[in-house]
Amino acid sequence: LDIWLLKSKGVQVDVMMVEKKFRDYSVPKVKIGEKVLQFTEAHVKKDLENYLPKTYRERFEREGYGILLKAAREVCQEVDKQFR
């Protein structure tokens, strides 16, 4: 949800911050775009349905949770390109 919201507001990814977060959590730098491709719309819905306010749940029920995945995939592809 955060990625979708920030992307919809035109916020650009700070790749240096992403790299720092990988280091902070001792996570090896991976192609995150490939990881995001493993998620399905059903997975995202199940993961978020307990946390989203009713207005967001209603919106994503109408429009589909796929818009969240699309935004995440686009951002991850952008980060992957800059990691290279």
| Residue range 23-42, pLDDT digits in tens | 888 877 777 777 777 888 89
With bands split at pLDDT 50, 70 and 90, how would you rate the model's confidence at 84?
low
**Which residue in the block uniquely carries the two structure tokens 């800059």?**
82
In angstroms, the CA 46 to CA 33 distance is: 21
pLDDT of residue 27: 73
Does the pTM of the predicted model rise above 0.85? no
Q: What letter would DSSP give residue 52?
A: S
Instruction: Report phi then psi at 25, rounded to 5.
Output: -95, 10
Q: Could you read off the pLDDT of 50-76 as tens digits, one per residue? A: 888 989 889 888 988 888 888 888 888
pLDDT of residue 1: 61
In angstroms, the CA 66 to CA 64 distance is: 5
In angstroms, the CA 61 to CA 53 distance is: 12
